[in-house]
Structure 1
C-alpha cells in the first residue's frame, strides 16, 4: 500500500541537493516534479528504483533529474530524510501525549507500519537503501535520539527489559517489516516482539 501522492514539502530537503544558482521557473517546476515522483516511486519500490523510472514518471529526461540530484543517492537521501523528519515529529507528539510505559510501544508499531507501507521509510530504517548515517544528517541524529529517549524512558518505567538497546530495536523493526505479506500477520509479529521486550516476570 503506497501513500497518496502529494507535492512534497521541500523546506527540509538536504541543502546539498539544492543548486548553487537561482533556478528559472521551469527549473523549479522540474525540481518539484522530480521530487514528487521520487516520493511515489521510492515509496512503492524502495531505493532500488532506477533514475530512468523516476524521470519517466516526472516526464523529464534522466539528464534533467541528474542536474537537480547528481546521484540517485542524493535523490533518495532527500526523500528518505524528509520521511525521517516526519517520524521524529511523530515521536515528539507521542512523547508529549503518552506515558513512557506505552509511548515506546506506540512508536515501535508506528515504525513497522510506516516501513511496510512506504519502502523509502523501510529501506532507511533497515539500512537496505543508501547509508544515511554517512550523510551525518541532523534528521538521522534526531531520529536516533528520539528512539533512544523513548526506549530509555520505557526502561526506567519498568516497561521494557533493561538489556535491550537501540540496535536491538532496529533489528526487531527490520524483522517485523519483512513480514509484509499480510497485515494481520505483521500485527501479530509486532505483538510477539512487544511481549518479548517486556521484562520477564518471576
Structure 2
C-alpha cells in the first residue's frame, strides 16, 4: 500500500472498517456489494482492494489471527505443555466463535494454495505448543497442528448459528479434547 494515493488508502481503511461492522452484524454471508453500499463506494473500488470475499474476510480477521499467534508464543514456554495447548485451542475457539465469519475465513478452497492463508499462520502458531504436548505424552503422536485448527474450525462452523455459539463451541471442544487427550 506504500505508494497508494491518499484517497486509495482512505478507501481501503473505510472499506475495511465497514466490512468489520457488516461481518460482525451479518457474518460471512455479507456480500462485497453490501459492503460497497454501506461504505458509499462503488463495488469496483471494493474489488480493487479485495478481489474476493475471502480476501476481505482475511483482512477483517488479520488482527485477531495476529493476537492468537502472539498468545501461542507467550504460552510456548509454559510449564504445563498440555495446559498451554488447551488454553490456546480454547482461545482460538472463543475468538472464532465470537467473531462472526471467522470460521469461513479459516476454511480452505482450491485457490488458497497460491496465497497466504490465515489458517497457515494459526497452524504454525500452534505447532510448538502441540509438539511440546506430544513430547510430554499428553497428546498422541500423529496429531497435527492442522488437525487441531481444522477441528476447531469445524466446531465453530457447526455452532455459529446456535443461540450461544461461543459456549456451544467451548462445550464441543472440551468433548473433543477428552477424546484426543483424556
Query: TM bucket by the smaller chain?
Result: 0.7 to 0.9
**Contact kept in structure 2, 1:47 and 1:76, CA below 8 Å:** yes
- Describe the SS at the equivalent of 2:141: coil
Corresponding residue number in structure 2 for 1:7? none
Corresponding residue number in structure 2 for 1:146? 125
**Contact kept in structure 2, 1:73 and 1:130, CA below 8 Å:** no
TM-score, normalised on structure 1?
Answer: 0.72
Deviations 1:129-174 (A, max 9, x none): 785443035x654432222221111111122122422343233213
Corresponding residue number in structure 2 for 1:76? 57
**Contact kept in structure 1, 2:138 and 2:181, CA below 8 Å:** yes
Deviations 1:62-118 (A, max 9, x none): 233233334434333333444322321121122245631211101111111111111
Corresponding residue number in structure 2 for 1:60? 41
Q: Tell me the matched-pair count.
A: 178
- Describe the SS at the equivalent of 1:160: coil
Match among 81, 85, 88 for residue 69 of structure 2: 88
How far, CA to CA, are the matches of 2:94 and 2:19 in structure 1?
20
Corresponding residue number in structure 1 for 2:82? 101
Distance 1:121 1:134, change over 3 A: farther
- RMSD of equivalent CA atoms: 2.8
Q: Which segments of 5 or more consecutive residues in structure 1 lack a partner in the other structure? A: 1-17
How far, CA to CA, are the matches of 2:58 and 2:93 in structure 1?
20
Write the mapping of 1:94-133 to structure 2, written as runs, cut at 5 A.
94-97=75-78, 99-127=80-108, 132-133=112-113
TM-score, normalised on structure 2?
Answer: 0.79
Match among 160, 168, 173 for residue 190 of structure 1: 173
Distance 1:118 1:132, change over 3 A: farther
